[in-house]
Amino acid sequence: MEKSAQMFIAGEWCDGQNGSAEVVDPATGETVGAVALAGTSDLNLALDAADAAFKVWSLTSAFERSGLLRKAAGLLRERAEEIGRLMVREQGKPLAEAKGEVIGSADHIDWAAEEGRRMYGRVIPARAPNVQQIAYRLPLGVVAGFSPWNFPISQAVRKIAGALGVGCTIIIKCPEETPYSCAELVRCFEDAGIPRGVVNLVYGVPKEVSEYLIPADPVRMVTFTGSIPVGKTLGEIAARYVKRCTLELGGHSPFVVAEDADVDAAVQLAATLKFRNAGQVCAAPSRFYIHDTHYERFLDGFVAASKELKVGSGFEVGVQMGPLANARRLDAMEVFVADAVDRGAKIATGGRRIGNKGNFFEPTVLTDIPEDASLMVDEPFGPIAPVLPFSSLESAIEKANALPYALAAFAFGTSQKTVDQLSKGLEAGMVSINHFGIASPETPFGGMKESGYGSEGGVEGMDAFVTTKFISTLV
Ligand code: NAD
């Protein structure tokens, strides 16, 4: 597959003013093809198109917008196999995960399509009988979206569908590492009949594109998913130009197993969540705190489950974990392990790169790790799990809350007292107890502290794209 991913600007597929970059298959290291890179003339075209389209799309009835979005969702479902295959080639995850992501993303579009029809304003009782007061909720305008490579479709879809659902238009910069599946997502909106200029897709040098788009006049809202340092920079630019901003950044999620927990259920979920998408999930559990009484049993079960995982090309039947999505992550894993071992950590399983072709890394479990190891402080964003014992739930919660990030937290416990202590005590934008229960279209997804602000998903995710206009009339 030698192909070129084009941009989609003002309803046309086009190459970029700044040439192209190479796209690499993370399982083989081979070149898959190229991706177009935008220059300022491309971005200006996208800004003009999104601005012009906003004037029409924002006045299109919510009912009509909803119908077009639902059509796009249907096309995405129909094309799940084909798009999933593109994603495996450029991102590496197992095909079943890729297809699941595409199908789940169609649900996000359906949610935004329906919720967009419920952007109710309100009538506010006035102080005088001849005054009418109405608060309207209106689409903000042109949105600049920046989506990452770990979930090429589902991260982009939350931004596109949310914006379109309420009547905004969007310029989305999708990840240069995984452009092909993103392009096919946008093609679903095109084929559904979404008018030209409503969705514009660009790729480019990320810093150049964000620094150009965010200050640009028609852009009224910025939505970014990615790392904390980049999020802070984009948030600063947005603040300087008073642009609304949603930031979905990294985390370092604790996974707490209390004394009265169902340990076997905890082991099973830990292995599934930790190694999904090779650990490259912002809400993946990354610090495992296990009550003393269960520590050995949890560790044995978790290590056994990690060893059993089939690692390989995402196209291979039965593979449960693919390669890391890019060579940067592979290097980062090696540095995390070396630093931890230097500080006294023990490797219970894994710890090394697999082979010398592609970005494969062993599912890794570490013990005896000091709290100041970089793995305990910096988001691993990869398949490494530190496991630590604790003796009191209060101290585990304190450690769980000790970092400046607070995206997700997972916990196991059975008594009402334990569940109450965990759900109230764990500081995170999303707390999931005794199961994995986050990230559905109808629930808010977002972090506290340095993990970002605002939500994607749920009514909160739709609110991010609207502004309030209050009208008081003397009748
Ligand atoms: P990075 O910080 O360079 O980039 C992260 C993402 O932001 C990428 O998608 C990149 O294209 C984009 N980006 C980078 N600089 C940008 C800029 N100036 N303007 C706009 N977009 C920009 O790191 P990376 O090596 O690509 O990824 C590693 C780290 O990123 C991980 O450690 C993880 O914390 C974070 N990450 C988080 C998520 C998430 O879902 N929250 C997704 C991907 C990456």
Q: What's the token pair of residue 127?
A: 């102080």
**Chain centroid, CA 86 distance in Å:** 19
| Helices 179-191 and 62-78, packing angle to 10 deg | 130
> What is the residue type of 50?
A
pLDDT at 353 exceeding the cut of 60: yes
Cβ neighbours, 10 Å, residue 8: 22
Closest atom of ligand 1 to 207 CA is 18
CATH T-level fold of 253-440: Aldehyde Dehydrogenase; Chain A, domain 2 (3.40.309)
Handedness of CA 259, 262, 268, 274 (dihedral sign): negative
300 Cβ contact list (under 8 Å, min separation 6): none
* Pairwise CA distance, residues 276 & 94, whole Å: 9
Q: Which residues of the chain does CATH 3.40.605.10 include?
A: 7-249+451-474
Backbone conformation region of residue 201, classed left if phi is above 0, alpha if psi is from -120 to 50, else beta: beta
90 belongs to the catalytic site: no
Q: In what order do the strands lie in the sheet with 20-24?
A: 3-5, 31-36, 20-24
Write b or e for each residue in 183-220: b if 16 or more Cβ atoms lie within 10 A of its Cβ, otherwise e. Answer: bbbbbbbbebebebbbbbbbbbebeebbebbbebebbb
Q: How far apart are the CA of 375 and the centre of ligand 1, in A?
A: 18
* Pairwise CA distance, residues 405 & 81, whole Å: 36
* Pairwise CA distance, residues 469 & 135, whole Å: 6
> What is the residue type of 242?
V
pLDDT at 1 exceeding the cut of 90: no
CATH T-level fold of 7-249+451-474: Aldehyde Dehydrogenase; Chain A, domain 1 (3.40.605)
Length of the chain: 475
Q: How far apart are the CA of 224 and the centre of ligand 1, in A?
A: 9
Q: Does 149 sit in the ligand 1 pocket, CB within 6 Å?
A: yes
Residue of minimum CA distance from atom 1 in ligand 1: 227
Q: What is the pLDDT of residues 421-454, one digit of tens each?
A: 999 999 999 999 999 999 999 999 999 999 999 9
Q: Which residues of the chain does CATH 3.40.309.10 include?
A: 253-440
Q: What's the token pair of residue 189?
A: 């909106």
Q: Does 230 sit in the ligand 1 pocket, CB within 6 Å?
A: yes
* Pairwise CA distance, residues 418 & 297, whole Å: 20
For the chain, give the mean pLDDT: 98
Helix (H) or strand (E) holding 8: strand 7-9
What pLDDT, on the 0 to 100 scale, is given for residue 402? 98
Q: How far apart are the CA of 28 and the centre of ligand 1, in A?
A: 22
User: What's the CA angle centered on 160, arms 157 and 165, to 5 degrees?
Assistant: 110
Which residue among the candidates 177, 248, 379, 450 is catalytic per the annotation?
Answer: 248
Residue of minimum CA distance from atom 8 in ligand 1: 148
Residue of minimum CA distance from atom 20 in ligand 1: 206
Minimal CA–CA distance to 453: which of 418, 430, 429, 434? 429
Burial label for 240, CB within 10 Å (0-12, 13-18, 19+), is exposed
Q: How far apart are the CA of 148 and the centre of ligand 1, in A?
A: 6
Residue of minimum CA distance from atom 2 in ligand 1: 227
Minimal CA–CA distance to 389: which of 417, 360, 369, 362? 369
Q: What's the token pair of residue 428?
A: 């995170």
Q: Does 206 sit in the ligand 1 pocket, CB within 6 Å?
A: yes
The helix/strand/coil state of 471 is strand
What pLDDT, on the 0 to 100 scale, is given for residue 45? 98
282 belongs to the catalytic site: yes
Minimal CA–CA distance to 46: which of 11, 96, 19? 11
* Pairwise CA distance, residues 223 & 238, whole Å: 10
Cβ neighbours, 10 Å, residue 146: 26
Q: How far apart are the CA of 430 and the centre of ligand 1, in A?
A: 21
Q: What is the pLDDT of residues 291-346, one digit of tens each?
A: 999 999 999 999 999 999 999 999 999 999 999 999 999 999 999 999 999 999 99
Q: What is the pLDDT of residues 257-270, one digit of tens each?
A: 999 999 999 999 99
Confidence of residue 2 (pLDDT cuts 50, 70, 90): low
Contact status, residue 57 vs residue 96, Cβ threshold 8 Å: no
What pLDDT, on the 0 to 100 scale, is given for residue 3? 75
pTM given for the model: 0.97
* Pairwise CA distance, residues 158 & 271, whole Å: 27
Q: What is the pLDDT of residues 39-57, one digit of tens each?
A: 999 999 999 999 999 999 9
CA dihedral of 243, 248, 250, 253, whole degrees rounded to 10: 140
What pLDDT, on the 0 to 100 scale, is given for residue 4? 87
Write b or e for each residue in 370-380: b if 16 or more Cβ atoms lie within 10 A of its Cβ, otherwise e. Answer: eeebebbebbb
Mutate to test the pocket of ligand 1, among 205, 223, 230 (most ligand atoms within 8 A of CB): 230
Q: How far apart are the CA of 101 and the centre of ligand 1, in A?
A: 19
DSSP 456: B
| 471 phi and psi angles, rounded to 5 deg | -125, 125
* Pairwise CA distance, residues 307 & 365, whole Å: 10
Mean pLDDT of all residues in 375-390: 98
Q: What is the pLDDT of residues 238-247, one digit of tens each?
A: 999 999 999 9
